[in-house]
Amino acid sequence: MAFDPATLTYTSDGLIPCIAQDVEDGAVLMMAWMNAEAVTKTLETGRVTYWSRSRRAFWVKGESSGHVQELVDLRVDCDRDCLLAVVRQTGPACHTNRRSCFYTSVTHGDEVELMRPMVD
């Protein structure tokens, strides 16, 4: 069946969450939002492209930092209201220069930092 971004379920703001997972080791890197046009751009260009809610603009991941995400596979969930982008990540995915945005663990009631910023 041909894929049509219009068949996805979006929020009232026209957005759908997209999880980025590293193809190398399966690490969950980040979650950000796309609109239908960002989904299309991601598939057409092979560069993962989100919609920045704060800037209200397309956000080609890594366009300024160089920390690009090359799309390996885009997956749709059963409810069609969440996406999973399997990616080849260059450098850190997180704006803090950590590899993943999920670097804080809740352990025995405390917040514990699991990873330090990557050094370029």
Summarize the annotated binding site as residue ranges.
77-79, 81, 94, 101
Under DSSP, is residue 93 helix (H, G, I), strand (E, B) or coil? coil
56 vs 2: CA distance, rounded Å: 29
Encoded tokens for 67: 């920390």
118 binds its own copies (CB under 8 A): no
Choose among 45, 22, 34, 38: nearest CA to 98.
22
Contact string (CB under 8 A) for its own copies, positions 82-101, x = contact = x-x---------xxx-x--x
Q: Cα-atom radius of gyration of the chain, to the nearest Å?
A: 15
65 binds its own copies (CB under 8 A): no
Residues making up the binding site for Mg(2+): 77, 79, 81
Choose among 31, 119, 120: nearest CA to 83.
31
Closer by beta carbon to its own copies, 19 or else 36: 19
58 binds its own copies (CB under 8 A): no
Binding site for its own copies (CB under 8 A): 1-3, 17, 19, 21, 25-28, 30-31, 43, 73-79, 82, 84, 94-96, 98, 101-107, 109-111, 114
